[in-house]
Structure 1
C-alpha cells in the first residue's frame, strides 16, 4: 500500500468512525432518521472541510470526492439500524470518538505538512481537524462540547499531531509508525476517561476575591 492510498484509507476510516460517533449520539437523543444522518454527516466531514479550506484544497474533499459523503451516510445509517445491538450507547460513542480523533489527527497533520504548512501550524491544524467533528456534533445536540470540559481531549490530539510531525521530520513516517501515532491519541483519550484525568479548572469562589462595587441600598 503506497502512502497516498494509506492516507485515503485513514481519512475514510476517520470519516466512518466520526459519522458513527455522531449517529450514535443522535440516536441517544432520539432524533429521527434524517437527524441521525445529518449529525453523523456533519460530525464526520466538518473538521475535514475546515482543514481543506485552510490548506487551499478547493473544493474540499467532502464535496469533490463522492467516497467521503458516501462513507459518512453509510456509517450513520448503519448506526441508526443497528443501535439496538450496541450495548451502552454512551460507551460506544466515546470509543468511536476517540478512534476518530486519532485517525483525523494523523491524516490531517500529514496533509498539512504535504501542503507545506510549517510543523507548528500543521500540528495545530491536525488538532483542530481532530476536535472539529466532536465539537460540531455536541453543539448540534445541545451539549457542552467535550473539548470545553475537564476531560483530556484536545491535548491527546495535539500529542498525536506532534508525534506525526516528529516522525515526518526525522524520516521515520510509515504506515506502522503513523498507526502508532493514531493509537497514541486513542490510548491517551481512553485512559483519561477511565482514570478521570482532567485539565485544571478555576477554584470555586475564585472570582469572589475581587468583588465589584456594592449595589446601592434599596429605596424605602
Structure 2
C-alpha cells in the first residue's frame, strides 16, 4: 500500500471544483442541444457525478460520496441555474464546453487517483480509476446527448491520455511521499493545458497502421 500524503481538505476542494466544471460543461451542452431546464439539470448532474459514482462503486465506497455529501448535488444544480440565465454571455458555447470539460478532466483524474490510493489500491489500478473518474461523466453526458463520446470519437484530440498522465503523476508523488499541495495543483494545470493544447493543435493518439494507409 502506498503512503497517502494528500489531506482530506485538498481532496474535497478538488472534487468540488471538478463537480462545478463538469456540471457547467453538461449544462452548456444541453443549451446547445436546445434542451429545457430539466434536460440541463440531467446532463449537468450526470456529467458532474457520473465518474465519481462509478469510481466509488468499484472501490466499495458505499454509498457514493455524491449521495452522502449533498454539496455535490447542490453545486451541480447551481451550475445549471447559472447557465440557464448566463449562457448568452458565452457566445461560443462549443469553446466554453471544451474549456469546462478540460477543467473537470484535470481535477477529477487527480481526485480519483487520490481516493484509489487511500483505499489501498496499487499504482496501476489507481491510474485506471483516476482516468475513469475523469472521463466517466463526460462519456455518460455525450451518450445521453446522442453525441459520440470524445474518448471514442474517430479523429478526436487527446482526451483520456492527459487524464492518465495526471493520475500517473499523482501515483508517483504518493510513492515518494512528496507532501506538497503545490505539486498537485501544478499537475492539474498540466493536464488542463495539455488538453487545451491538444484541442488547439489537433494532437491525436497513435493509431494502428492499416493496409489502406500504405496505398
TM-score by length of 2: 0.92
Could you tell me which residue of structure 2 aligns to residue 120 of structure 1? Answer: 124
User: What's the CA shift for 1:3?
Assistant: 1.8
SS in structure 2 of the partner of residue 76 of structure 1:
helix
Equivalent of residue 43 in structure 1, options 37, 40, 47? 47
Equivalent of residue 83 in structure 1, options 79, 87, 90? 87
Could you tell me which residue of structure 1 aligns to residue 173 of structure 2? Answer: 167
Runs of 4+, deviation exceeding 3 Å = 200-207
Cα distance in 2 for partners of 1:75, 1:9 equals 16
Could you tell me which residue of structure 1 aligns to residue 67 of structure 2? Answer: 63
Cα distance in 2 for partners of 1:205, 1:26 equals 40
User: What's the CA shift for 1:138?
Assistant: 0.6
User: What's the CA shift for 1:79?
Assistant: 1.0
Could you tell me which residue of structure 2 aligns to residue 178 of structure 1? Answer: 184
Structure 1: which 5+ residue stretches go unaligned?
Answer: 210-220
Could you tell me which residue of structure 2 aligns to residue 187 of structure 1? Answer: 193
| Pair 1:133-2:156 in alignment | no
Q: Deviations over 1:165-203 (max 9, x none)?
A: 001111114211111111111111000010111123466
| Pair 1:105-2:109 in alignment | yes
Could you tell me which residue of structure 2 aligns to residue 212 of structure 1? Answer: none
Could you tell me which residue of structure 2 aligns to residue 19 of structure 1? Answer: 23
Cα distance in 2 for partners of 1:157, 1:173 equals 21
Higher CA-based Rg: 1
TM-score by length of 1: 0.90
Structure 2: which 5+ residue stretches go unaligned?
Answer: 1-5
**Which of the pair has the greater relative contact order for Cα pairs under 8 Å at 6+ separation?**
2
Question: Residues 18, 88 of structure 1: CA spacing in aligned structure 2 closer, same or farther, 3 A cutoff?
Answer: same
